Amino acid sequence: MGNLLGIGKEGRKPTADLFLDFENAQPIESEVEVHAQVASVLTKSASIIRELDEYKGAGEQIRLAISNASDENLQNAAWLAVCPLVGKLKEFWMYSADIQSVLPVILEALVAKDPLNCLREKQAITKQFAEIIQFVMRFDDLKMNNPAIQNDFSYYRRMLSRQKITKGGAEEQAVVSSEDANRMSLFYAYPTPMLKILSDATASFVSENQEIPIENTTDCLSAMANVCRVMIEPEFASRFTNPQTVVFCQQVLVGTIILYDHVHLVGAFSKKNTSIDVPKAIKALKLHTNPEVEGLMNALRYTTKHLNDEDTPKSVKALLA
């Protein structure tokens, strides 16, 4: 953004002020290699979101086929309609593996040493991490609001099993094999599959890199959440040159809170958590009236891990009621 923002992490000295520039950050020499690796993955994210947003499903063809089980033409029409759609679902699933593989690269760059210094010095990689979080939020929101995905996939699996019994060679000709379909079913069974991938990959990174204090990872997430919360407050949001940057910060704010809640032992909502001021974050979100806000509020209500814990203050629960 044109005017950089500063925010100090609570409990730290003023010299720990953190600046993030989501609008203008460019990789410096020490970031170039990691930035290029992450960029090769992120370049596909826009098309994935566009295709998911345009996903209409084969509901009518499936309904007709089920209602007329003896009509071979309708069975074939439903199969021909659903196969390319399941091919798209496979593409989405395979992209989740790309996200999973690149996340440890980002985390190592941002949390191997003092996370606040890393966030400050590696602005371009920080922006890429934010873009991955934004992608996850958008993907899961679209997936949760499109029942056609599960309907199409369930129908495909049923028909594939039936064809394996009645037709030889059906497996070899299938757009998605039974083995891949089983793996995909585990992915799509979750209401928020990309968040599941992101939180699992983060947890794996922490467990596999025990020489890096877990606090480095959670401090990175809380710092990003705190900065994004300040950036969407009116006095600062007015400084953006692109209005969509506010939406971006809203999505990253909620995404980092949710991810923190999934990887931190007591979560983001506990009275013991002093790293993220969740009430202030919720109030900052409610200051805006853009269409994305309600979906983000629902993400906090329904996709967090610790919101309904006994240790969550009633005042926080009331803000999300």
pLDDT digits (tens, 9 = 90+) for 182-196: 999 999 999 999 999
8, pLDDT greater than 50: no
CA distance 273 to 269: 7
The lowest-confidence range among 1-5, 51-55, 287-291 is 1-5
- AA letter at 209: N
1, pLDDT greater than 80: no
pLDDT confidence of 24, banded at 50, 70, 90?
A: confident
Q: Which residue has the higher pLDDT, 161 or 224?
A: 224
pLDDT > 90: what percent of the chain?
76
pLDDT confidence of 13, banded at 50, 70, 90?
A: very low
- Residue 167's pLDDT is what? 60
- Residue 2's pLDDT is what? 34
Provide mean pLDDT across the span 58-85.
95
CA–centroid distance for 167 within its chain: 40
- Residue 297's pLDDT is what? 92
| Mean pLDDT, all residues of the chain | 89
- Residue 170's pLDDT is what? 56
Provide mean pLDDT across the span 149-175.
79
Note whether 230 and 5 are within 8 A (CB).
Answer: yes
pLDDT confidence of 111, banded at 50, 70, 90?
A: very high
Cβ neighbours of 305 (radius 10 Å): 16
- AA letter at 165: I
Selection from 312, 303, 89, 127 nearest residue 198 by Cα: 303
38, pLDDT greater than 90: yes
The structure tokens 């930035």 sit at 35
What are the φ and ψ backbone dihedral angles of 301, each rounded to 5 degrees? -70, -40
236, pLDDT greater than 50: yes
Q: How far is CA 172 from CA 169, 178, 198, 284, in A?
A: 5, 10, 32, 53
- Residue 17's pLDDT is what? 64
pLDDT confidence of 20, banded at 50, 70, 90?
A: confident
Q: For 9-39, give one letter per residue: b (16+ CB within 10 A) or e.
A: beeeeeebebebbbbebebeeebeebbeebe
Q: Which residue has the higher pLDDT, 3 or 258?
A: 258
pLDDT confidence of 213, banded at 50, 70, 90?
A: very high
Provide mean pLDDT across the span 112-135.
94
pLDDT confidence of 241, banded at 50, 70, 90?
A: confident
19, pLDDT greater than 80: no
173, pLDDT greater than 90: no
